[in-house]
Amino acid sequence: MDLIFYHVNKMNGMRIAMTETMLRENYLATHLLYSALPDKEYKKIYRCDTAHDIWKALEMIYEGNSQVKEHKIKLLTDQLDTFKLFWQRDKPDEYMYERYIGTINSLKALGKSYTNGTYVEIFLSALPPEWNVEVKAILGSENLSLLSLEDVLGSLKTVKKHRLHH
Instruction: Specify the amino acid at residue 101.
Output: I
Tens digits of per-residue pLDDT, 88-109? 665 666 778 888 889 999 999 8
Q: Are residues 72 and 148 in the same domain?
A: yes
Same domain for 142 and 87, yes or no, is: yes
Instruction: State if pTM tops 0.75.
Output: no
Instruction: Report the C-alpha gap between 75 and 140 in whole angstroms.
Output: 31
Q: Which residues contact 96 (CB under 8 A, 6 or more apart)?
A: 87, 88, 126
pLDDT level of residue 29 (50, 70, 90 thresholds): very high
Full domain range(s) for residue 14: 4-63
pLDDT per position as a tens digit, 43-78: 888 888 788 889 888 888 877 778 888 888 899 988
How many domains in the chain?
2
Same domain, 101 and 39: no
Residue 128 DSSP SS3: coil
- Report the alpha-carbon distance of residue 42 to residue 40 in Å, rounded: 6
Which are the contacts of 125, defined by CB distance < 8 A and separation ≥ 6? 84, 135
